[in-house]
Amino acid sequence: MGIMIEPSKELIRIWMDIYVPEKDLLFLREEDLRNLERYLNRVLVIPKKEFFNHSSYTVIQLVNSFEYWNISKEVQYIVVAESDWLSHQSKDIQKQISNIQLQINRGLILPLSLCTDSFFFPEEYLVKDSEREYIVLQSKMWRRIPYETKENLLKVYAKQWDDWTCYELPEQTPLHLQKYANTFPAQAGGNCLSATLFALTKQEWIINEWVHPRTFFEGLKRANYFNAKIEDIQNGDVVVWVNEEGIIQHASYHISQNLFFNKNGQTFFNPWIIIDWNELELKWKKYRYEIYRIEK
């Protein structure tokens, strides 16, 4: 039976505290750097290659908040600034920087239409494209927004990542999955691969790890799972979807009755849910699926 879930107020408060990082990251193209050069004496200007190889700036929460994967390839520099730096610039410069962030498709930019109350965001943080108006979130501004406005905005935005529909737990759900099924994480990082490895190994700490494909296949091997090369799914099987190059795109753990323990992404907006086979098959139909089964 299909059900709806949603995060608790306490969990949203935790998300609220970490969603917008304390330092501002501003992504610039070559021409942007030239135009803003005289304002950058109190910040770090980091070349793109150094930034994306820097251990301080590749932690999973920054990756998720700023959505590195969506940022334009035209970006060549990243400005790292303390939270009060931007607010000390003129409103024209703040507006210019906000527009640049929209143009290069940085994360932490939310449609203004998601705000359901009457709070007025500062004009310098509002930008438009041809279709709608957006809020460009920055550290100091975020912390000045009323609590209820942030709570409502974050809750509505979070639903853009996952619709929060799922199924009730089947009777055969193992005890270690019952704790997490149809709940939300308090931290970023855990993805579909870590959720699946947790399901089959029962190692609870793995569920919040950001697991990559080769690590995942090593985990399958050590748990004695092998490619069954069949199409019928049994209880305890793992289904893996791969592209034409054999690179894994998604994985999920079959509990029983065509119901799976599943996670759709590595953000804390993506819950661990019970999902059915039809929905998984539809979502990942462009990829080939393989069934892995424990060797007995």
Percent with pLDDT over 70 in the chain? 100
Rounded to whole angstroms, the Cα distance separating 46 from 76 reads 9
| Count of other CB atoms within 10 angstroms of residue 33 | 14
Q: Give the model confidence (pLDDT) of 96-125 as tens digits.
A: 999 999 999 999 999 999 888 778 888 999
Q: pLDDT class for 219, splitting at 50, 70, 90?
A: very high
Distances (CA, A) of 222 to 94, 106, 192, 216, 253: 53, 39, 18, 10, 16
Q: pLDDT at position 163, please?
A: 81
Distances (CA, A) of 55 to 7, 75, 120, 207, 215: 30, 19, 37, 22, 20
Q: Looking at domain 165-294, does it have CATH number 3.30.1490?
A: no
pTM to 2 decimal places: 0.89
Q: Give the model confidence (pLDDT) of 180-196 as tens digits.
A: 999 999 998 999 999 99
Residue range(s) of every CATH 3.90.1720 domain in the chain: 165-294
Q: pLDDT at position 1, please?
A: 58
DSSP label at 168?
P
Q: pLDDT at position 136, please?
A: 96
Rounded to whole angstroms, the Cα distance separating 108 from 91 reads 19
Q: pLDDT at position 90, please?
A: 95
Q: Give the model confidence (pLDDT) of 152-183 as tens digits.
A: 999 888 888 888 899 999 988 999 999 999 99
